[in-house]
A = this chain, B = another copy of it.
Amino acid sequence: VLTEYPSFIGALAAFTSFGARLRGVALDEEGIEIQRLAEVLDGLPAAPKFLYINPYFHNPAGIIYSQERKQRLRELAEERDLMILEDDPYGELYFDQADRPLTLPIKASTGSEATVCYVGSFAKILGPGMRLGWLLAPPAIAEKCELAKQSTDACSSTFTQVLAHAFLAGGHLPGYLTMLRTTYRRRAGTMLAALKEHMPPQVTWTTPRGGFYVWVSMPETLDASRVFEASIARGAAFVIGSAFDPEGRRNNCFRLAFSHTPEEKIARGVEIIGDAVTAELHNV
């Protein structure tokens, strides 16, 4: 299985639990690096089962694919007969209405010959406790998935399905999303301002236009686990970068989430983490 680097830890765990060997291809601010992806495909001993991507307000990188990058990925997928698993839990959470066209899934591209399986979720727009999502896939794959799901958990909770249906059928989702977008935009702004204030100049980070996350990159000599230990001792937590590395090695980055935390706590948390990074820079 090919993935982005960094990539969503839950997907990596699901793939490896079925014995998959993982290979990560780096992301930049516009999406997966197409040239690098082509080179990796050339170098593989066998065709990968699929490429897993998280293009819209990426977990953990926080970025959104540019239209051009999506187009080039689609073309490469067609050319190489590469199946894409397009994971989209955050696409509705854009901060600016003008960015909405960027969230159009590859699955929704007209005239594409690429095989795309698209997965969506209520986890980030109604709540993770719902455990509800959906899949759009070619019939042969959808049938297999249905059988596998039936053998695994019989079915998703009908109780939370009824709740989600009532919420949608009652027309409550659009207003709720507007509220979420406003809240998350404000929290992201607070986090970005705090990063600018508290991080040493050697550290860089992504600027999210939606979603939950900021991805922070330190010089390669630094270890996020050591920064984590110093931060957690003073009450600030984050997820270390190696958790998001399909090859489990690189650990000079980390993921910050602004979604759940009130703004005053965000500012204080980033200050604590900034102090820990600064101390670590002086240590190495």
Q: Give A contacts to B, CB under 8 Å.
A: 10, 13-14, 16-17, 127-131, 147-148, 150-163
Contact = CB atoms under 8 A, between A and B. Distances in A.
Q: What copy number does this chain have within its complex? A: 2
Contacts of A151: 13-14, 16-17
A155 B131 CA distance: 8
A66 to B, nearest CB: 30
A99 to B, nearest CB: 28
Contacts of A16: 151
Contacts of A158: 128-129
Nearest to A155: B131
A226 B154 CA distance: 27
Given A17-B152, A129-B158, 19 more contacts: A14-B151, A14-B152, A16-B151, A17-B147, A127-B159, A129-B157, A129-B159, A129-B161, A129-B162, A131-B153, A131-B154, A131-B156, A131-B157, A152-B153, A157-B157, A157-B159, A157-B160, A159-B163, A160-B160
A7 to B, nearest CB: 15
Nearest to A161: B129
A130 to B, nearest CB: 6
A130 B157 contact: yes
Contact of A153 (B150, B153, B160, B162): B153
A99 B100 CA distance: 63
